[in-house]
Structure 1
Amino acid sequence: MMEELVLVSKEGKIATVTINRPKQLNALNGETIATLSETMKSLEGDDSVRAIILTGSGEKSFVAGADIKEFANYSVEEGKDLARRGHESLFNLIENLRKPVIAAVNGFALGGGLELAMSCHMRVASDNASMGLPEVTLGVIPGYGGTQRLAQLVGKGKAMEMITTAGMIDANDGLKWGLVNHVTSADELMTKCSEIAGKIARNSGVAIAAAISAVNAGFAEGVDGFEAEITAFGEAFGTDEFKEGTTAFLEKRKPEFK
């Protein structure tokens, strides 16, 4: 029986998505990208889920990169199409998902794996994590948003260094440069992610979705992030969750967001 490429489990309002190709170090092939895309869309539409944790099976690797044998003989146009489909179907999808996605980075997060982690809204790394974009060693560049998101997270200079040297950094350096939010032991990785997800799940899902959109607007070309914030802030006043949140505050009780 063929193993499932992507596993999903739920505990309360938190869903955990696990890329399940341990023999290939969870490398991303076309089928895995498509399956992940459908999984994320399904969870976004699931009202019982407030936060998502994304990780890789086993202790060796989050995602060790793309499955190179799939595109080794591609033409220029096929290469462009590969990148474009990846952006649209998965990486941009996750970045703009209305529910926060936390990457639990265990072991290697290289190439497309680091790009996948960077498309998530936050990252927690185990102390055995190794992260990098080694594409230039293959005569190509990061194609799933790596040149853009890495510079946003660590700054232009450090991104240039990491990409052009193809060097890897460990979890603590990732924390130092803002690539990851927290570092834990391997044993505590999922516990820490669940702790963060639990805090998220207690808050207004409608407000969180608006906040994600507003933050992302500040990085979108031709979009005024401040104006996007003003609009989203105002629109929040018309939601049931705003009424519940403010009423609960005035009544000195915990809000019950639906």
Structure 2
Amino acid sequence: MMKLALVLVLILAGVASGSIEKRLTGSVDCKKNRQYHVQIEGAQGGKSCGGSLLNTRWVITASHCAEQIVKLKLGVNIDVSFLKKVWSSIKGSSKKLEQTITTNQQFTYKDEEGHAHDIMLIKLNEDMSGSLPTIKLPSAECSKPEQGEMVEVGGWGSKKAASTKAKPSKLRCASTKMIACDENDKPDAKYFSDDSTTMCAFEPGVEACYGDGGSAVEYNNVLHGIIVSNPVDKCANRIVMLNICHYRQWIEETMLKN
């Protein structure tokens, strides 16, 4: 009887632990979704974020994810066979999937008053293969999703910045619901935001954690938001995002001019 009780205790402890470990990335394996996902790390450490490949030369992310020399890893959610990886290494093409980006290739949005917003375009050192998956932008006349609509988020951040646990080996995806933002639902204070630039989402058990900032928010299978929640030691259950529709024209113009 005591052995049975011990087993039950262990099972319940495992269940409890699983619920504690729930995060934005804790719902389901993304599998073949989000193959456009880009991993962004500070060259000297201290930063960990996500980004999205828009086309063969440009990545979009949150400004707080860079603004220093960063290392980008592309194709992180693509299942490539071992032999193909070896062949790519021999040909040298695998080097294109890991690039070091300097600040002169990083473009933060600034409004007419010169205020920086927490959204950035990164120009890659060289063109990627056209076969590498990208994410679509919404139409130029788009508007942000209505309250109550479900959006898709993803990532694989740690519970804490100094976590000893390695990030999950596979990208994770979750759905969350659009809600009205509170007055405290904003990007970092160094970045401007208002009702037209910012949007928010909440779903019980779905949280943004360290490393999830900069990742894409999908609605109707296109890019509608960038996660700007930037938790370090505690996950955020109200996810703050920037509204891509507000920046749609700037995105096109920046890529064209640079």
TM-score, normalised relative to structure 2: 0.25
Q: Which has the higher helix share?
A: 1
Structure ranking higher on relative contact order (CA contacts 8 Å, 6+ apart): 2
TM-score, normalised relative to structure 1: 0.25
